[in-house]
Structure 1
Amino acid sequence: MRMIYNTATSLSGYIADEDSSLAWLFAVDAQQVPDHDAFLAGIGVLISGSTTYEWVLREEDLVAHPEKWPAYYGDRPYYVFTTRDLPVPAGADVRFVRGDVRDALPTIREAAGDRDAWVVGGGDLAGQLLDVGALDEVQLSVAPAALTGGAPVLPRRVGPDRLRLRDVQRYGQFAHLVYDVLPVG
């Protein structure tokens, strides 16, 4: 199982603006982005922080319309790292996790089976996984937009000795970059 952080980012390295909005991203023509269905076919579990999870619930009104959930995530377990009680769309397999990411990894790996785990967001959670050596790959779809602040794509100092560019593709207005995360030292 690989742990893959796959997200979109602005040219300036932010995944959300100062208001935690992704409106800037949806203003970009996304008709030619990488095949999301093909990516999702290899995913056994999804992982996110509570801010990302709450944004998805709110943006798509998934609590009121739980029938939309399968179109986005199927029946895969969705692990949410949080310290709060949050709503769950009816029928969705959402599992709340509290505490250190390291402690949850065996359960997440078991749930993924022979497929990969998708770190949906946010950047801090991806950083925590990087810190404990659990992040294997970073996929960034860079959009033609620059933001002056907001949620950074990866709020860590990561040197070039930790990331190796494996692939670059152009999808319409997006540059899709795939990096392997190398072990420390």
Structure 2
Amino acid sequence: MTRILFDTATSLNGWIADENNSLSWLFAVEGGTTPDAEVLPTNAGVLVEGSTTYEWVLAEADALAHPEKWQEFHGDRPTFVFTTRELPVPDGADVRFVSGSVADALPGIRAAAGDTDIWVVGGGDLAGQFLDAGALDEIAVSVAPVLLTGGAPLLPRRCESDRLRLVSAKAVGQFARLVYEVDNASAV
């Protein structure tokens, strides 16, 4: 059964990027550039990103000039990017631009995923839109031993404890790995 997962890293005080949309703080943590394979979603057949995440990946990897760097992370998996703008695409990448609501885009995303999972890579507001739509099944967070003064919040939504059930909590290198199941039955 296809699940929709938000799996990301965050600072100890809840920021997924700093004020400059940079992840340099994450890469400075031991294990931050190459996450332990056990924490990456293993059955993710489709990736979903917001335009800020997508543009950051393009710039950080210089993926337009080096499309092989896109393939290192995304592989051949379809990547849906929520945006209202026309953006460039690395050669050979399966990037599908969508605009509008998550609810409207979900049928196409689910069709592309087939029997595999859907990984909402980022950002936090996009994951929040999946949560609002009652479509987010799991939130997995790798908490880094870093404190930031601001930036992009992990998940800028209020979600009460009656909707989240702790599945696991463990140390993975320098990170605290927390996995929560989301109860969508009580979604608004």
* Bucket of the pairwise TM-score, normalised by the shorter protein: over 0.9
The answer on 1:157 being equivalent to 2:158 is: yes
Any residues of structure 2 matched to 1:11-90 within 5 Å, and which? 11-30=12-31, 33-35=35-37, 39-90=40-91
* Contact preservation (8 Å) 1:33, 1:171: no
Q: Which residue of 1 aligns with 2:97?
A: 96
Number of aligned residue pairs: 184
Task: Provide the rounded CA distance (Å) in 2 between the counterparts of 1:2 and 1:145.
Answer: 30
Name structure 1 gaps, 5 residues minimum. none
- TM-fit CA distance, 1:40: 4.7
TM-score, length-scaled by structure 2: 0.94
TM-score, length-scaled by structure 1: 0.95
Question: Does 38-47 or 102-111 show the bigger shift?
Answer: 38-47
Task: Provide the rounded CA distance (Å) in 1 between the counterparts of 2:143 and 2:134.
Answer: 24
The Cα offsets for residues 104-143 of structure 1, whole Å up to 9 and x where unpaired, read as 1011001001110000000000000000100000000000
The list of structure 1 runs, each at least 4 consecutive aligned residues, that deviate by more than 3 angstroms after superposition, is 31-34, 38-41
Root-mean-square deviation over aligned CA pairs: 1.4
Task: Provide the rounded CA distance (Å) in 2 between the counterparts of 1:184 and 1:117.
Answer: 19
* Contact preservation (8 Å) 1:62, 1:69: yes
Question: Does 40-49 or 14-23 show the bigger shift?
Answer: 40-49
- TM-fit CA distance, 1:67: 1.6
The answer on 1:4 being equivalent to 2:11 is: no
SS at match of 2:64: coil
- TM-fit CA distance, 1:172: 1.0
- TM-fit CA distance, 1:30: 0.5
Task: Provide the rounded CA distance (Å) in 2 between the counterparts of 1:175 and 1:93.
Answer: 33
- TM-fit CA distance, 1:74: 1.1
* Contact preservation (8 Å) 2:19, 2:152: yes
- TM-fit CA distance, 1:68: 1.7
* Contact preservation (8 Å) 2:136, 2:184: no
* Contact preservation (8 Å) 2:164, 2:182: yes
Code of the residue aligned with 2:91 in structure 1: it is A
* Contact preservation (8 Å) 2:135, 2:184: no
